[in-house]
Amino acid sequence: MNGNPTTRKNVLIVDDVEVNRLILKNTLENDLVPLEAANGDDAIKIIEEHLDNIAVILLDLNMPGKNGFDVLEYMFEAHLTDDIPVIVLSSSDEEAKIEKAFSLGAIDYMPRPFSARLLLRRVLTTISLFHRKKAMAFEIDKRFSMAENRIDPLTGLYTSNIFYNQVYDKIKNAPRRSLCMVAVDIDHFKLFNRFYGRAKGDEYLRLIGKSLKAYEEKYSAIAGYLGGDDFAILIPNRQGILGDMKKRAREELLDRDYELGYAPKFGVFSIEDPTEPVMDIVDHAFTALASIRTDYTHLMAWYNQDMVRHVRDEFVLLSDVERAVRDNEFTFYLQPKCNMLSGKIVGAEALVRWSHRDKGMIPPAAFLPVLEKNGFITKVDQLVWEKVCQWQRNWIDNGHDALPISINVSRNDMFSLDFTDYFLKLIEKYRLPSNLIELEITESSYIEDLERVGAEINKLHAAGFSILMDDFGSGYSSLNSLKELDIDVLKIDMKFLHIDYENQAKGVSILESMVNMANQLRLPIIIEGIEMYEQVNLLTEMGCKYAQGYYYYKPINVAAYEDLLLDESKVDFGGIQLSEVDQVHMMDLSEEKLFSDEMINNILGAIAFYEINGDTVRLLRLNEQYYNMMDMDYVMADSEYATHLRQSIYPEDRDKFFWLFKKADENGLRGATADIRYMKDGVDMRWIRFRIFPLRKQNDSRLYYGSLEDITEIYQNNENG
């Protein structure tokens, strides 16, 4: 085994007597890299830190405190003796102790005293035979499985029946071991197949299968393909393994340029009772997984008893909703949108309401989240849309002028319908001009497939529909969405801005920035959630014109809305109009000093300008927000910027950081985005989302603009499940 020291495996020597460790170290160091532990606690720490690079452990059984048996028991319950051979060393020849060591997974036993040559030969032979035996067993099992049609040909994993049998045997034969069942599926896989094609879908399933197969081989786990996009794996219950699964899934997704909306999700169930039926164990894992479906910010969840109650309650609710759809219990209320300068109504938003036959009016918060989570929202939305169009038609037929009504479109709606065709048929059915039906789409709907949604919006515009971006600023890519999508109106919620007495200055500054930006983009704004006159006064002084909220009107039933429309003094049939302002250019704004530095910083956040010359990236300029985010010294010399950048990027992410600039060159004005780990003082790690845009070539160099966002909290939330 002599060779390059960097490729040699470690041997862990665990003995409380220093001279014993020295003798063993001198004997083995030419062939293995010795690691030393003087007690059981230190041994366990070293095993956890060097888990993938320990070839063998030499373990003294008789130590004070946590002894060799304690270390063996820890390894046995964590399945580590499946992967690391343990040779126990002891001056004791008590048969009972030796037998106990073997029962806990030790593979060999050497009594003291022993010769150095014999020990070395025994250790090297043990390593060789152990790994040869594992490889042979895996190959035999693989051939047997394939011969018996027990392996799914697409994913390379056990078929469902064989998987359940294998899991049963594993748990039965090792009841004391700490195991967990992990359920895996791909978020919105049907949509993935629809947009990327069946061949890409199969490729994605093979990718998941290959990933789980790697964990199966490495940790003596059992992985199965359960059909559709459902997978499961029985694996040692260790945080490090589970964290790696989640991290690897995200990285593989990004490497293939798939949207995060199609990320694999993981549900984890810790097995406490080895007698529990395997089907129930798998069901518990899928129950945990179901708790985070449609939530793209979380990839993993752990099972708990409350989930059973939630699942039961959701099932009851969904059954009641299906009945309510049949019985026509869903209707809509209308909340007027007003011109703040005149107080007149310029339109309305249709909001779903459920008039339950037994419980009366049920608030939307009690049922909408469940419907959205389970995909049933589209059926209810279609019912509401139909009723809105039907009412508009009746209102017009009765000789009245109509105002536009906006209807809400969920993420599920966007991806489950032939969207434009559906609405064209709907307005054709009720003989409505398309300008009387406006579509409010939440910003989160765009995240899953920006290109697809953008194409759909272009078709809707061609058909004459207006598109409103709801909850602007609440997602992760507001400015990017505006750049990519042809939006007609922005809706901003006062609650998102937190404009109150305690932080009014900050909220006002942010809102001013958004209003100015919207004016430059020639986009009207509607402010939602207006409740007080002081807010109206503040917003009109800022240049905002349209609002919606309790200060003007609560959501009201159709009859009350009709009464308002009949009073023409309360109605402005001109609708929402962009304020008449002269078009200006960015250079004009700079010369007229319309923006303060504080306002610019609030709009742009942390920004920097980079220069690339050959293989060197250099920071040229950065703003105050960048200094604050990166905890940099304000008096840092220009020559120190490059050193700071090189030392701060996490070593394993440096290639990705350089790739980002190359990708930005390929994408042109669309730029490129990547999440990079950043180290503060070489210790404190945080996640920074870099967005890089190419500017121009300058001699032999290339200049780039970069915007940065600290997203550490998102990753921490994901890690916490």
CATH of the domain at 561: 3.20.20.450
Verify that 295 and 444 share a domain, yes or no: no
230, 154 contact by CB (below 8 A): no
The reply to whether 577 falls in a domain is: no
Verify that 443 and 495 share a domain, yes or no: yes
Q: Which domain holds residue 626?
A: 605-719
Continuous segment of H or E residues that includes residue 325: helix 305-326
Pick from 79, 110, 137: which residue ends a domain?
A: 137
Pick from 113, 137, 161: which residue ends a domain?
A: 137
Query: pLDDT at position 107, please?
Result: 86
Verify that 433 and 458 share a domain, yes or no: yes
Read off the CATH number of the domain in which 155 is found: 3.30.70.270
Q: What Å distances lie between residue 267 and 484, 496, 689, 713, CA to CA?
A: 34, 31, 27, 21
The reply to whether 420 falls in a domain is: yes
Read off the CATH number of the domain in which 56 is found: 3.40.50.2300
The reply to whether 363 falls in a domain is: yes
The reply to whether 631 falls in a domain is: yes
- For residue 391, give the DSSP letter: H
Verify that 350 and 456 share a domain, yes or no: yes
Largest CA distance in the chain: 107
Pick from 287, 303, 319: which residue ends a domain?
A: 303
| CA-derived radius of gyration, the chain | 32
CA 335 and chain centroid, separation = 34
Distance CA 611, CA 697 (A): 9
Give which of 580, 557, 552, 488 is closest to 339, Cα–Cα: 552
Verify that 528 and 616 share a domain, yes or no: no
DSSP readout, 532-557? SHHHHHHHHHHT--EEESTTT---B-
Query: pLDDT at position 558, please?
Result: 95
Give which of 313, 271, 256 is closest to 79, Cα–Cα: 271
b/e 181-210 (16+ beta carbons within 10 angstroms → b): bbbbbbbbbebbbebbeeeebeebbebbbe
Query: pLDDT at position 475, please?
Result: 47
Read off the CATH number of the domain in which 681 is found: 3.30.450.20
3-state secondary structure 208-243: HHHHHHHHHHHHCCEEEEEECCEEEEEEECCHHHHH
The reply to whether 50 falls in a domain is: yes
Distance CA 571, CA 552 (A): 13
Q: If 0-12 CB within 10 Å is exposed, 13-18 middle and 19+ buried, where does residue 413 land? A: buried
Place of tokens 């042979």: 136
Query: pLDDT at position 590, please?
Result: 47
Query: pLDDT at position 2, please?
Result: 44
Which residues are CB-neighbours of 534 under 8 A, at least 6 positions away? none
Verify that 669 and 537 share a domain, yes or no: no
3-class secondary-structure state, position 296: coil
Query: pLDDT at position 259, please?
Result: 64
Verify that 397 and 346 share a domain, yes or no: yes
The reply to whether 486 falls in a domain is: yes
Fill in the amino acid letter for 222: I
Distance CA 408, CA 467 (A): 10
Verify that 416 and 523 share a domain, yes or no: yes
Query: pLDDT at position 502, please?
Result: 53
Verify that 133 and 156 share a domain, yes or no: no
Verify that 90 and 127 share a domain, yes or no: yes
Verify that 297 and 402 share a domain, yes or no: no
Low-confidence ranges of the chain (pLDDT < 70): 1-7, 92-93, 115, 137-149, 254, 257-261, 293-297, 308, 311, 443-450, 473-484, 495-507, 578-604, 631-646, 680-683, 698-699, 718-721
Verify that 193 and 166 share a domain, yes or no: yes
The reply to whether 54 falls in a domain is: yes
The reply to whether 460 falls in a domain is: yes
Fill in the amino acid letter for 338: C
Query: pLDDT at position 346, please?
Result: 94
Total domains in the fold of the chain: 4
